[in-house]
Homo-oligomer: A and B are copies of this chain.
Amino acid sequence: MEVGDLVDRARQRQPRAVARLISLVEDASPQLREVAAALAPHTGRAEVIGLTGSPGVGKSTTTSALVSAYRAQGKRVGVLAVDPSSPFSGGALLGDRIRMQDHATDPDVFIRSMATRGHLGGMAWATPQALRVLDAAGFDVVLIETVGVGQSEVDVVSLADTTLVLLAPGMGDGIQAAKAGILEIADVFVVNKADRDGAETTVRELKYMISLGRREIRGATWRQPVCKTVAARTEGIDEVTAAIAEHRAWMVERGELAERRTHRARTEVEAIAVETLRSTLGNLRGGDTLDRLAKQVMAGHLDPYAAATTLIEDIKAAN
Contact = CB atoms under 8 A, between A and B. Distances in A.
Interface of A: 32-33, 36-37, 39-44, 55, 84-89, 119-121, 124, 128-129, 132, 149-154, 177, 180-181, 184-185, 258, 261-266, 268-270, 272-274, 276-278, 281-282, 290-291, 293-295, 297-309, 311-312, 315-316
A84 B154 contact: no
B291 A262 contact: yes
Nearest to A43: B300
Contact of A266 (B84, B154, B294, B300): B294
B40 A300 contact: yes
A262 B85 contact: no
A192 B121 CA distance: 34
Given A304-B268, A305-B36, A277 B312 contact: yes
A44 B300 CA distance: 7
A291 B259 CA distance: 11
A162 to B, nearest CB: 17
A184 B132 CA distance: 34
B272 A274 contact: no
B306 A37 contact: yes
Contacts of A152: 150
A32 B309 CA distance: 13
B121 A308 contact: no
A316 B315 CA distance: 8
Contacts of A291: 262, 266
A277 B275 CA distance: 11
Contacts of A302: 40
A258 B291 CA distance: 13
Contacts of A265: 293-295, 297-298, 304, 307
Nearest to A260: B298
29 contacts: A32-B305, A36-B304, A37-B306, A40-B297, A40-B303, A41-B300, A55-B177, A86-B181, A87-B151, A88-B154, A88-B181, A88-B185, A89-B180, A129-B304, A149-B150, A150-B150, A150-B151, A151-B151, A258-B298, A262-B291, A265-B298, A269-B304, A269-B311, A270-B308, A272-B307, A272-B308, A273-B312, A274-B278, A276-B312
A303 B270 contact: no
**For the complex of A and B, 5 pairs with smallest distance between CB atoms:** A86-B180, A266-B294, A272-B308, A36-B303, A40-B303
A277 B281 CA distance: 11
Given A151-B120, A266-B290, A42 B312 contact: no
A55 to B, nearest CB: 8
A40 B293 CA distance: 13
A154 to B, nearest CB: 5
Given A84-B150, A149-B150, A262-B291, 10 more contacts: A37-B306, A42-B300, A85-B180, A87-B181, A88-B180, A269-B311, A273-B308, A274-B281, A276-B308, A277-B315
